[in-house]
Amino acid sequence: MDGLKNFNVVYLLPYAADADAVRDRTAPRHFRHKSIVVAANTEQVVHEVRRSGGIPVEIRVIKPQLSFFNPVTRDYKQQFMLAIFFNTQAGLSAGRALKLVIEAENGPLRQRLNYAYLILDGGGSFLEAMDALDFFDQTTLAIMEAGEKTGTLSNAINTAVEYYQARAGTLKVLMGTAVFTSVEVAFSIMSLVGNRAAVLPAIEKEISENASPKKVAAIKHGIGVAYFANDLMLFISLALIVGCIVAAYGYMNGSRAFRKKVDDIILKVPAIRDIVLHGAVTNSAKVAVSLIRGGVDLLASIAIAEKASRVPRVVDYWREAVRRIEDGEEVSTALAQNPLENSERTLIRSH
């Protein structure tokens, strides 16, 4: 599949196969069509067009873009799933709905969608094609898998869309906090660099030549102390930045034990604790509720809700709930545990 390319193809048909077809001036009895064909070479494109009864006029290779310069944004993923959802609501199967959405993509992302398209074309399942896209996370795929097993795939896709919307709200708050903090840190470091490069040398040059040797020595000593303090703060600031970057990378890709240590540190900061912890509980709970309403088994819904969060404390909450339920405890009692607030636990126990 790595040798496949996208081709912009212009071809003629003796009839208008779609609404975008136009009558050709040079061939009055034919209509000009445009489409994107996935193939290994131009000969294969010609074969495919002729097999469908068309006459190829122009074939042009679409140059692929690197994934780094052609990222899949969160908004695109959400719109992609919404398009599938609307097609399934219209009565199409999930596989056919996905195929239509891919065919409608004429931009640079089409190259990344080819793998899923070929899987569907070869008789593969909807989930296999979605997994081949390689830009949906494990939670989204698990939600869709649960929907397919229970015959509620359309509702599951809608749940996945709601999950992305909920995560987007939390991420916007976190990103806003991170940007504000980054700006503050950047200005602080620039201030320290400015002191080191301009302010302190300027003060050193302004020492009066008429000052007594004792006073000059005292001023230079003070400037030396200022240099040391400034350099120390600059070193500590840079070390903290490097440490935060390493911690963030380790949190996203490291072991669960490491994530739990970072999680415990983060959740000690009052404002950030409320944003991270409550946001993670809310998002995962919304996933569980949507799946249960769609007819998915309770324990399966909780297992998927667990995957919807990377915060160890939230993951432990769902695992503990499953353990308690399997031990025979009532569902309402098993769910009414920390990190939920007292009012939330009281509300759950009342059901």
pLDDT of residue 66: 57
CA–CA distance, 34 with 59 (Å, rounded to integer): 10
Percent of the chain scoring above 70 in pLDDT = 87
Residues whose CB falls within 8 Å of the CB of residue 145, separated by 6 or more in sequence, listed in order: 127
Long-range contacts of 225-234 (CB under 8 A, 24+ apart): 226/195, 226/200, 227/196, 227/200, 230/192, 230/195, 230/196, 230/200, 231/196, 233/192, 234/189, 234/192, 234/193, 234/196
Band of pLDDT at residue 210, cut at 50, 70 and 90: low
Specify the long-range contacts of residues 177-184, CB closer than 8 Å, at least 24 apart: 177/272, 177/275
**Separation between Cα atoms, residue 325 and residue 335, nearest integer Å:** 9
Residues contacting residue 47 through CB under 8 Å, at least 6 positions apart: none
More confident residue, 281 or 209: 281
As a whole number of angstroms, the distance between CA 6 and CA 108 comes to 9
pTM of structure: 0.56
256 vs 159, higher pLDDT: 159
Ranges 4-13, 43-52, 342-351, most confident? 43-52
pLDDT band at 13 (very low <50, low <70, confident <90, very high): very high
If you write DSSP's letter for every residue of 165-227 in order, what string do you get?
A: HHHHHHHHHHHHHHHHHHHHHHHHHHHHHHIIIIIHHHHHHT--TTS-HHHHHHHHHHHHHHH
Judge contact between 80 and 102, C-beta under 8 A. Answer: no
pLDDT of residue 252: 62
pLDDT confidence bin for 153, thresholds 50/70/90:
confident
- What average pLDDT is seen over the chain? 81
Instruction: Supply the DSSP symbol for 34.
Output: E
Average pLDDT value for residue range 171-181: 73
- Min mean pLDDT across 37-46, 141-150, 195-204 is at 141-150
Decide which of 50 and 140 is more confident: 50
Average pLDDT score over residue span 44-69 = 81
pLDDT category, 199, cuts 50, 70, 90?
confident
Mean pLDDT within 129-141: 82
DSSP 56-70: EEEEEEEPP--GGGS
Neighbours of 119 (CB within 10 A): 22
> Which residues on adjacent β-strands are paired with residue 322?
none
pLDDT, tens only, 278-324: 777 887 887 788 778 777 788 888 888 887 777 778 888 899 988 99
pLDDT-derived band at 11, boundaries 50, 70, 90: very high
The pLDDT assigned to 267 comes to 67
Comparing CA positions, the residue from 278, 92, 286, 262 lying closest to residue 170 is: 278
- Tokens for 144, please give them: 């869709």
Assess whether pLDDT exceeds 70 at residue 92: yes
Residue 130 has pLDDT above 70, yes or no: yes
Amino acid at 330: E
Q: Read off the pLDDT of residues 96-108 as tens digits, 9 standing for 90 and up.
A: 999 999 888 877 7
Q: Quote the CA–CA distance of 233 and 168 in Å, as a whole number.
A: 36
Q: DSSP alpha helices (H): ranges in the chain?
A: 42-51, 74-89, 94-103, 110-121, 126-133, 138-150, 153-194, 200-205, 213-253, 256-266, 270-273, 279-293, 298-307, 312-326, 331-335, 342-349
Q: What is the mean pLDDT of residues 241-246?
A: 80
How far is 305 from 287, CA to CA, in rounded Å? 6
pLDDT value for 64:
64
What average pLDDT does range 248-264 have in this prediction?
Answer: 67
